[in-house]
Amino acid sequence: MAQRPVEIPFEALVDPRSDLAALIQEGFGPDGLGIVTVSGVPDFPALRERLLPLTAALAALPDDAKAALEDAASNYNVGWSHGKEALVGGRLDTLKGSFYANPTRDTYDDRAASDVEQYRDYYTPNLWPREQLPELEPALKALGCLMVSVGYLLADRCTAYVNAQLVASGAAAAAAAAAAGAGADAAPSPGAGAGGDQRRGGAGSGCVDFGAALRESACHRARLLHYFPPAPAGGGGGGGGCDGDVDWCGWHYDHGALTALTCAMYLDASGRAVPNPDPSGGLYIKDRAGRTVQAAIPPGHIAFQMGQAMAIQSGGLLHATPHYVRAARPHLAPSISRNTFAVFLQPDTNFEMRPPRGLGSHGLGILGAGGGGGAAASPSKLTAAEASGWRPGMSFGAFAAAVMGTYYDAARRQERERERERARQVLVHAEAE
């Protein structure tokens, strides 16, 4: 039975007098499912209906047109990506095609050349199919920017929640005292809440300002996803394979701050929207007790999951969301594709990831390797899995490179093996002649 996530009405999100702490805690806190939805966002339903059908149109472009949209140098973080990323277990991601772009800007001329060189995943200009599918660019930018702007407001509420928790636990005071003792820049800054400003991960107090960090960032990334129709049992092709728990997108955390998601749209072979053909297919989340729960995102809502960066930055007061997508069973979904849109809100590459100070005596910190996700895990600690890839003082760019390396290095290894096998076959063939 699918579970409906905690809902935050948009009017409440924009109302500075509303207190959303209880909803943030219910969604992202120690016992939260790790997902909230925002309802009633003006223009969202129409922009979703405009963009999602274009996903199938993009996937149907001729292969050479899609190949022209590939960019290996950015690890396929701009343009078309199909079968390039390795999922859990090293399996290549051939069951879906993705299109990546930064919805908020096309170019990075204002960035230092050294940053552009070091972080090509983030600072490579967008690639658009302007000839073949001119409608895509404006549709993706309009929906992407809307989802980003709602994400900023939610990030502000997460900041307020974390700050309130820090103050309540005494951690903020402990951090401010320690910083004052060390002569550090403990002066509060506007919008940073009680105790100071850590929006750049500086050496101030224990407080964070997620909204400010995200508003300054040039690193947001939108991903249009087209899950190919599942192939019939025993069949080949790009589908999900056989009946059963076939995952379309293996278990993972997103490594950014917040991920905004639309409800998926299912399209038949003629491009007509149809109801979800298999109620057991779709997005699943592992809750904090270790149970796997299907998350039902209503079509008019924007869903938000928590990424590792914000979980780490909150010192475990907010938790990252482990999730995967289960394929529709082939006999229920012949010729039906799943199309959806994710926007990863991420801090800038030079953002220093540093949990709040002063938490040590309050039980926050990182659990050992055995402490992942189960009922026995302390609810207020990050699990080793949530924090994997991170080391104290790391920038977001270095952290993201460490995480993404695990996806693409495996894919590169497999590509090299395929190359070797092709060369071997050519040799065998030549010797036989």
Ligand X SMILES: O=C(O)CCC(=O)C(=O)O
Backbone angles phi, psi at 212, to 5 degrees: -65, -45
Residues making contact with ligand X (CB under 6 A): 223, 225, 249, 254, 261, 264, 283, 323, 325, 340, 342
Closer residue to ligand X, CB minimum distance, 53 or 201: 53
Minimal distance in Å, beta carbon 152 to ligand X?
A: 20
| Chain centroid offset of residue 57 CA | 24
What Rg, from alpha-carbon coordinates, does the chain have?
Answer: 22
Name the residue nearer to ligand X (CB basis): 83 or 371: 83
Question: What is the C-alpha separation between 136 and 336, in angstroms, rounded?
Answer: 21
Q: Return the number of the residue (95 or 176) whose C-beta is nearest ligand X.
A: 95
Question: For ligand X, which is the closer residue by CB, 76 or 161?
Answer: 76
> In angstroms, what is the minimal distance from the CB of 240 to ligand X?
13
Nearest-approach distance from CB 293 to ligand X, in angstroms:
14
CA distance 346 to 359: 24
Q: How far is the CB of 221 from ligand X (least distance, A)?
A: 10
Integer Cα distance of 117 and 120 in angstroms: 6
Distance of CA 66 to the CA centre of its chain: 23
Supply the minimum distance, in Å, between the C-beta of residue 143 and ligand X.
Answer: 15
Neighbouring CB atoms inside 10 A of 18's CB total 14
Residue type at position 132:
Q
SS3 419: helix
**Distance of closest approach, residue 190 Cβ to ligand X, in angstroms:** 34
Please state, as a whole number, how many other Cβ atoms lie within 10 Å of the Cβ of residue 104: 18
Give me the least distance between CB of 405 and ligand X, in Å please. Answer: 17
Joined together, the tokens standing for residue 105 give 């800007």
**Contact by Cβ (8 Å): 339, 328:** no
End-to-end, the C-alpha distance of the chain in Å comes to 60
Q: Residue 125 gets which letter from DSSP?
A: P
CB within 8 A of 392, min separation 6: which ones? 354
Measured from the CB atom, the residue of 37 and 169 that comes closer to ligand X is 37
Query: CA-CA distance, 70 to 1, in Å (whole number)?
Result: 39
The distance of closest approach from Cβ of residue 34 to ligand X in the complex, given in angstroms and rounded to an integer, is 12
Structure tokens belonging to residue 332: 């229920």
Q: How far is 55 from 227, CA to CA, in rounded Å? A: 10
Q: Which is nearer to ligand X, 249 or 306 (CB)?
A: 249
When the beta carbons of 166 and 249 are compared against ligand X, the nearer one is 249
Taking the least distance from each CB to ligand X, the nearer of 99 and 161 is 99
